[in-house]
Amino acid sequence: MKFTKMHGIGNDYIYINLFDEKVDNPEELSRRLSDRHFGVGSDGLVLIGPSETGDFSMRMFNVDGSEAQMCGNAARCVGKFVYDKGLTTKKEIALETRSGIKMVELTVNPDTDKVESVRINMGPAILSAEAIPVQFPLSEIIDYPLSIDGSEYRITCVSMGNPHAVVFTTNIDALNIEDIGPKIETHPAFPERTNVEFIEIIDRHTLKMRVWERGSGETLACGTGACASVVAGVLNGLCEPQATVLLKGGNLEIEWNRAENNVYLTGAAEFVFEGSV
């Protein structure tokens, strides 16, 4: 089986082209290949295939084999993959995901005819507690006190097709994310678990982020998490609807168009290497 390793600002996945390959058990394959000691090493597995409702489809599996609804960094890489590999000549692609069709806009270098950056309409920010889902006695969870091990964390919950709990704090570099991340992820209030973003406000147009991803642990970047964090920042009066999010793997540009309630994500996508297993 041939595969391609790609990353979106350090959020790395193994990509398999289902037009050429067949995958019978993606859950097990993701667990095996994602292992950084005994496998290829990645934050998960992404399958690129045909779609009846869009131009291409994307399925994404975490390190633990669980399937995610959406991943912004992976979607950007899929856009670069299908264009640079000659699977399409379109510069605007309708990508089918578990959270619906996402429109992927490609910026192509005219000299090399290769994708330089990718902008994705990530769709609406979902604030309904029931839809996220999160089980607290409120219709929306904004700056809500969550008590864990005697400490209080003020969380704002947003779904970008997958659930996020955003915590605004200070000095996130010193945060023991390995301890608190899984405790919030698996809190009983989140019946489907949740991704957790820890955000330090630099200024009204700049946010610094660390992320604990549901099913994968801390990663270098999370596109949907960056989107959710800017939305949460706006809801809490901490940032503007257009902001740069600084992650361990690089920067993402986020814009929340509140009038249409669409969130746009722009960033780079890169090939790492190819191989066979």
pLDDT mean across residues, the chain:
96
Q: Would you state the pLDDT for residue 227?
A: 97
Residue 67 lies in a domain: yes
**The predicted structure's pLDDT at residue 67:** 95
Side-chain-facing half-sphere of 264: CA atoms under 13 Å: 14
Q: Supply the pTM of this predicted model.
A: 0.90
Instruction: Establish if 134 belongs to a structural domain.
Output: no
pLDDT the model gives residue 178:
97
pLDDT of residue 270: 96
The reply to whether 167 and 61 lie within a common domain is: no
Summarize pLDDT for 57-99 with one digit per residue, the tens: 999 999 999 999 889 999 999 999 999 999 999 999 999 999 9
Cα of first residue to Cα of last residue in the chain, in angstroms, is 5
Total domains, the chain: 2
**Could you give the CA distance from residue 215 to residue 195 in angstroms, rounded to a whole number?**
9
Distance CA 131, CA 55 (A): 27
Query: Could you tell me the two tokens for 10?
Result: 């350090």
Output the pLDDT for position 3: 98
pLDDT confidence band for 33 (50 / 70 / 90):
very high
Q: Are residues 91 and 185 in the same domain?
A: no
pLDDT, average across residues 169-197: 97
pLDDT tens profile 128-163: 999 999 999 999 999 999 999 999 999 999 999 999
Query: Alpha-carbon Rg of the chain, whole angstroms?
Result: 18
Cα separation, 36 vs 182, whole angstroms = 20
CA 249/CA 270 separation, integer angstroms: 12
Range 118-124 average pLDDT: 95
Q: Are residues 205 and 172 in the same domain?
A: yes
Q: Domain check: are 165 and 115 in the same one?
A: no
Closest CA to 86 of 60, 115, 45: 115
Any domain includes 148: yes
* Banded pLDDT at 221 (limits 50, 70, 90): very high
Asked if residue 50 is part of any domain, the answer here is: yes
DSSP, collapsed to helix, strand or coil, labels residue 29 as helix
> Is 186 inside any structural domain?
yes
The band of 49, judged by pLDDT with boundaries at 50, 70 and 90, is very high
Q: Which residues are catalytically annotated?
A: 71, 222
Provide, rounded to the nearest whole percent, the portion of the chain with pLDDT above 70.
100
- The model's confidence at residue 26, banded by pLDDT at 50, 70 and 90, is very high
Q: What is the CATH number of the domain that holds 207?
A: 3.10.310.10
Question: Which residues, in sequence order, are bridge partners of residue 270?
Answer: 7
Tell me the two tokens of residue 14: 């193994």
Q: Which helix (DSSP H) or strand (DSSP E) does residue 184 occupy?
A: helix 177-185
Domain extent at residue 247: 144-260
